[in-house]
Amino acid sequence: MKIVTVIGARPQFIKASVVSRAFIQLNIEEIIIHTGQHHDSSMSDVFFEEMEIPKPSYFLDVHGLSHGAMTGRMLERIEEVLKEVKPNAMLVYGDTNSTLAGALAAAKLQIPVAHIEAGLRSFNRAMPEELNRILTDQLSDCLYCPSDAAIENLKQEGFFHQPKKVIKTGDVMFDAFTYYQKKAEEKSNILQVNHLRSNEYALLTLHRAENTDDENRLKEILKGIQQLAETTTIVWPVHPRLKSKLAALSFSPSVKLIEPVGYFDMIQLLQHAHIVLTDSGGLQKEAYFARKYCITLRDQTEWVELVHEKANFLTGANAQAMVNTYHQLFTKPFPAFNASLYGDGHTAEAIVKHLIENI
């Protein structure tokens, strides 16, 4: 039995690390295609090295293009690989252009598609990721849902009346966080290198096109960051795409700008932060795993259960809302951790076993 896995972006590397380990444990051949969507070594190579992800069999080196061009180029290249290796199934993760290209290439060749993180919806079709999710779910045969909300979304969209297998599995990101937590503590020196003290800084990430490509939204978020930086140490691993934009906007508040970090360093930064500000989907969950409040710089989130748990707060690109929410949460105790939200830390094994029994 051969399974082809398509990955291309940082969150997918993290998810694939635990699923690939499950394939190895069950002696299943996995052929990894890395599309190259995150091609920078700081965004890609370091994750494979420290998380011991098997080296990709194919590296497509497709990046830096428009959404249409990128997805089309990936589709073409992935199709060539599938015709060569003739796998039993295709496995895709999340909501990137790599995800959609992999699912579409396999579906057109009548290869069963399994989608990890199926059923998520932000209900904002202006987001490229939302379109990728919806289309990938439609193309998939096995839909592995991380949460009750994801199951409900698919139910509302009529998936339960289609010949598809819809399963609530839990979240492989929780598997990864649980597994790598101790290793990160042992191997990362990010706090010492940057002279950071536990619970005395806020962790910030910003990368979504809806924020970084919209100058008005970006300026408003930077205004909020600048106000917070007057009283709070903010640590910001800056995404490569943003560096030149910050320089052009003459952004120079007292924020600790650092280079992009690997997964172990990010876990350490997260574990020792007192609060998180982000527009990332994955970091919203990782903040919850670390029992940290998250201020999400978006108007919607696909992780609605974290909003319901009062652990995640949406402020959008609104400086005043960012500042007000931060100060409201600063001394507020974190709510009780809901262990039923994302599984028991063994989601990857359950997915792999289900996949090999149902293809």
User: For position 323, what pLDDT does the model report?
Assistant: 98
Q: Comparing 288 with 43, which gets the higher pLDDT? A: 288
Model pLDDT for residues 72-113, shown as the tens digit of each residue: 999 999 999 999 999 999 999 999 999 999 999 999 999 999
Q: Which of 32-36, 46-50, 62-66, 241-245 has the highest mean pLDDT?
A: 32-36
Q: Is the pLDDT of residue 1 over 70?
A: yes
Of the ranges 34-43, 114-123, 278-287, which one carries the lowest mean pLDDT score?
Answer: 34-43
Report the first-to-last Cα separation within the chain, whole angstroms: 10
User: For position 50, what pLDDT does the model report?
Assistant: 86
Model pLDDT for residues 144-190, shown as the tens digit of each residue: 999 999 999 999 999 999 999 999 999 999 999 999 999 999 999 99
Model pLDDT for residues 223-257, shown as the tens digit of each residue: 999 999 999 999 999 977 787 888 888 787 689 99
Number of C-beta neighbours around residue 293 at 10 A: 25
User: For position 42, what pLDDT does the model report?
Assistant: 60
Model pLDDT for residues 282-305, shown as the tens digit of each residue: 999 999 999 999 999 999 999 999
**Domain 179-329 top-level CATH class:** alpha beta
Q: What average pLDDT does the structure give for the chain?
A: 94
Same fold for the pair 2-171+343-357 and 179-329:
yes
Q: How far apart are CA 255 and CA 193, in angstroms?
A: 16
Is 207 an annotated catalytic residue?
A: yes
* Active-site hit among 34, 38, 39, 207: 207
User: For position 243, what pLDDT does the model report?
Assistant: 79
User: For position 158, what pLDDT does the model report?
Assistant: 97
pLDDT bucket at 6, cuts 50 / 70 / 90: very high
- 2-171+343-357 to CATH, choices 3.40.50.2000, 3.10.20.600, 3.20.20.140, 3.30.450.40: 3.40.50.2000
Contact 63, 10 (CB under 8 A): no
Mean pLDDT of 184-210: 95
214: Cβ contacts below 8 Å, ≥ 6 apart: 317
241: Cβ contacts below 8 Å, ≥ 6 apart: 207, 212
Instruction: Please state the domain extents for the chain.
Output: 2-171+343-357, 179-329
Contact 190, 261 (CB under 8 A): yes
Reference 146, options 359, 312, 299, 345; nearest CA is: 345
HEC assignment per residue over 83-122? HHHCCCEEEEECCCHHHHHHHHHHHHCCCCEEEECCCCCC
Q: Is the pLDDT of residue 45 over 80?
A: no
User: For position 167, what pLDDT does the model report?
Assistant: 97
pLDDT bucket at 200, cuts 50 / 70 / 90: very high
In the chain, pLDDT over 90 holds for what percent of residues? 87
pLDDT bucket at 43, cuts 50 / 70 / 90: low
